[in-house]
Amino acid sequence: MLDSILSVLPPLATGMLLIITTVLKKGQICPGQRGRIHKVLPVPAIIWLLAAIKLPFVLVNVLLIGFFIWKVKMGKSRKSGPLMALYLANVISVCIIIYQMVLAQGWVASGFVLLETLMLGLIGAHWMLAFANSRLQAFHKLLPVSGIFLAMAVAMILVPFAFSINEETLQQYMGTIFFNFAVLMIATVVWCWHLITTRKIHKVQISVASVLMLISVIGFHQMYF
């Protein structure tokens, strides 16, 4: 279980950092919003720090993100900051994901590494934007809708996995599959609840959805690996 938790941390941090970097670079945000996003950047840095328990070399990303945070704090947090540090951290992050995909046994497991990077990255970045009180309404709609399609992809990849194992092993996995799939569906519904009810995204809502999604992904990861 601990190995599975540590294994999903790089995909989570990678997806989060890619999206947040895109928001900082391309998003039409005012200086105040930019400053609030800077304040939640320690989150991916902490995740990378925890991931270093299994992959010590990812400490480079901790240093790069830490350097970016230090620079914006030394200056003004509303300034754009040295984005090149985040670009380099993103390159290293993507290389780590490719490394995990190469080490995975079979294309199904490799594909799941990619899916968990996108899924956890989307909901993790959405959590960061919600806690930064972001007014980027397009992201509050786009990220959960994208999550629906990714949840469908996670479900679809179960089919070739089921055909790749014998019937006895499949029977042993049925309980795990149903549980993780149910948690995945609940997490997706909670994530999209503000769209269903046409209300503003709530921090408790996105936090609950994030925890449930993480539980589901860890469960699936443990099954594939």
pLDDT given for residue 75 in this prediction: 58
pLDDT tens-digit profile of 119-142? 999 999 999 999 998 877 888 899
pLDDT tens-digit profile of 184-225? 999 999 999 999 998 888 999 999 999 999 999 999 998 888
pLDDT tens-digit profile of 138-187? 888 999 999 999 999 998 998 888 888 888 888 888 888 999 999 999 99
pLDDT given for residue 80 in this prediction: 63
pLDDT tens-digit profile of 65-96? 999 998 887 655 555 678 899 999 999 999 99
Amino acid at position 154, single letter: V
Cα–Cα distance for residue pair 157/95, rounded to 1 Å = 23
User: pTM for the full model?
Assistant: 0.91
pLDDT tens-digit profile of 105-119? 888 889 999 999 999
Is 27's pLDDT higher than 70?
A: no
The kind and range of the H/E element at 141 are helix 137-156
pLDDT given for residue 134 in this prediction: 83
The residue among 114, 147, 144, 138 whose CA lies nearest residue 26 is 138
> What are the respective helix, strand and coil percentages of the chain, to the nearest 5?
85, 0, 15
Residue with tokens 């790749």, as numbered in its chain = 164
The residue among 25, 86, 98, 21 whose CA lies nearest residue 60 is 86
The residue among 147, 222, 224, 220 whose CA lies nearest residue 189 is 147
